[in-house]
């Protein structure tokens, strides 16, 4: 049930940068990033954080989970391809 909700939220959250359609399918991974394809216009695009300004909650939560599991800021930043200052800020926000 929780998983179902998560998927539903994801679909609502994801939007095609081209036609704004929410009919999005996963399309494998490229360079460690999830690739998506718009069913409507066939436009391909990477991770949700490139569509929105800022990062999606799920992405943020993944980074924080890594931090909780003992990974350093720079290690997380390297794995996720983001600035380590961003990770530090998130950890500060959560406390």
Which residues contact Zn ion (rule: CB under 5 A)? 16, 18-19, 21, 38, 40-41, 43
| Closest C-alpha among 64, 56, 55, 25 to residue 42 | 25
Minimal CA–CA distance to 30: which of 46, 17, 16? Answer: 46
User: Least distance to Zn ion from the beta carbon of 40, Å?
Assistant: 4
> From the CB of 44, what's the least distance to Zn ion, in Å?
10
By beta-carbon proximity to Zn ion, the closer residue of 40 and 86 is 40
CB of 10 to Zn ion, least distance (A): 16
Q: 10 Å Cβ neighbour count for 15?
A: 18
Closer by beta carbon to Zn ion, 52 or else 86: 52
């Amino acid at each position: 049930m929780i998983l179902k909700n998560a998927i539903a939220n994801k679909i609502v959250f994801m939007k095609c940068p081209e036609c704004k359609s929410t009919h999005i399918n996963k399309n494998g991974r490229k360079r460690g990033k999830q690739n998506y394809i718009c069913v409507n216009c066939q436009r391909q695009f990477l991770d949700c954080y490139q569509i929105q300004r800022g990062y999606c909650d799920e992405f943020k939560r993944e980074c924080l989970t890594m931090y909780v599991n003992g990974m350093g800021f720079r290690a997380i930043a390297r794995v996720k391809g983001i600035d380590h200052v961003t990770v530090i800020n998130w950890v500060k926000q959560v406390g």
